[in-house]
Structure 1
Amino acid sequence: MADYTWLISGASSGQGAEIALAALKAGHRVVATARNVSKARMDLPEIEKLGGTWITLDVTSADAQSVAEKAVKDHGINVLVNNAGYGLRGVLEDLSMDQIRAQMETNFFGVLAVTKGAIPLFRERRSGTIVMISSASGLTGTPSQSLYSASKFAMEGASESIAEELKEFGVRVLIVELGAYRTPFQAAVDKPTDVISEPYKGTVSDKTAQRITAGHGRQAGDPAKAAQAIVEVVTKTGRGRDLDGIMRLPLGKDALHRADVKIKSLSDDVARTKDLAEWAVFDTPYDGYPPL
Structure 2
Amino acid sequence: MNTSTRIWLITGVSGGLGRALAKEAALQGEIVYGTLRKPEQITAFNELVPGKTFGLELDVNNHGQIKSVVEQIMAKSGRIDVLVNNAGYGLFGAIEELSMDEARMQMETNFFAVLAMTQAVLPILRKQRSGHILQISSMSGLRANSGTGLYNASKFALEGMSEALALELQPLNIHLTLVEPGPFRTDWAGTSSVSAKNKIEDYELSSGARLRLLQSTSGKQPGNPAKAAKAILLAVNSDHPPLRLLLGKVALDAVRDKFKTVEEEFSKWEAVSLDTSFEE
TM-score, normalised via structure 2 length: 0.92
Q: Which amino acid aligns with 2:67?
A: S
Provide the aligned length of Structure 1 versus Structure 2.
275
Q: Say if 1:64 and 1:114, in contact at 8 Å, map to a contact too.
A: no
Look up the equivalent residue of 2:60 and give its one-letter code.
V
Is this contact kept in 1: 2:181–2:251, CA < 8 A? yes
Deviates more, 1:162-171 or 1:268-277: 268-277
The answer to whether the 8 Å contact 1:10/1:85 transfers is yes
Task: Tell me the distance in 1 between the aligned counterparts of 2:177 and 2:72.
Answer: 20
* Residue segments in structure 1 that go unaligned for 5+ positions in a row: 285-292
Higher relative contact order (CA 8 A, sep 6+): 2
Quote the residue 1:197 is aligned against. Answer: 200
Q: CA deviation at 1:219?
A: 0.5
The Cα RMSD (Å) is 1.9
1:128 counterpart = 2:131 = yes
Asked if 1:249 corresponds to 2:263, the answer is: no
Is 1:80 the equivalent of 2:83?
Answer: yes
Q: Which residue number corresponds to residue 55 of structure 1?
A: 56
| TM-score normalised by L of structure 1 | 0.88
Partner of 1:277: 273
Task: Measure how far apart 1:87 and its partner are.
Answer: 0.7
For residues 138-153 of structure 1, the aligned pairs below 5 Å read: 138-153=141-156
Name the CA distance, whole Å, in 1 between partners of 2:259 and 2:52.
42
Q: Which residues of 2 match residues 99-248 of structure 1 at below 5 A?
A: 99-188=102-191, 189-190=193-194, 196-201=199-204, 203-236=205-238, 244-248=240-244
Q: Deviations over 1:167-214 (max 9, x none)?
A: 11111110000110101221122579x76431212x121221111111
Q: Which amino acid aligns with 1:175?
A: L
Q: Secondary structure at the match of 1:60?
A: coil
In the alignment, the residues of structure 2 paired with residue 83 and residue 5 of structure 1 have an alpha-carbon distance, to the nearest angstrom, of 16
Letter in 2 for 1:180: P
Whole-angstrom CA distance in 2 between matches of 1:195 and 1:22: 40
How much does 1:19 deviate?
Answer: 0.6
Amino acid at match of 1:54: G
* Identity between Structure 1 and Structure 2 (%): 37
Decide whether the 8 Å contact of 1:72 with 1:118 is kept in 2: no
Q: Deviation string for 1:234-270 (max 9, x for gaps)?
A: 012xxxx7xx242110001110011111110221122
Give SS of 1:130's match: strand
1:265 aligns with 2:274: no
Q: Structure 1 CA distance, aligned partners of 2:276 and 2:200?
A: 42
Give a deviation string over 1:15-74, Cα, whole Å, max 9, x none.
1111100100111110111111322424x4532525211112211013144235425533
CA contact (8 A) 2:36 2:59 kept: yes
Write the letter of the residue equivalent to 2:62. S
Task: Give the residue type in structure 1 aligned to 2:260.
Answer: K
SS in 2 for 1:115: helix
In 1, the alpha carbon distance for the partners of 2:46 and 2:69 equals 23
Relative to structure 1, the CA distance from residue 71 to residue 136 in structure 2 (aligned partners, 3 Å threshold; closer, same or farther) is farther
Tell me which moved more, 183-192 or 151-160. Answer: 183-192
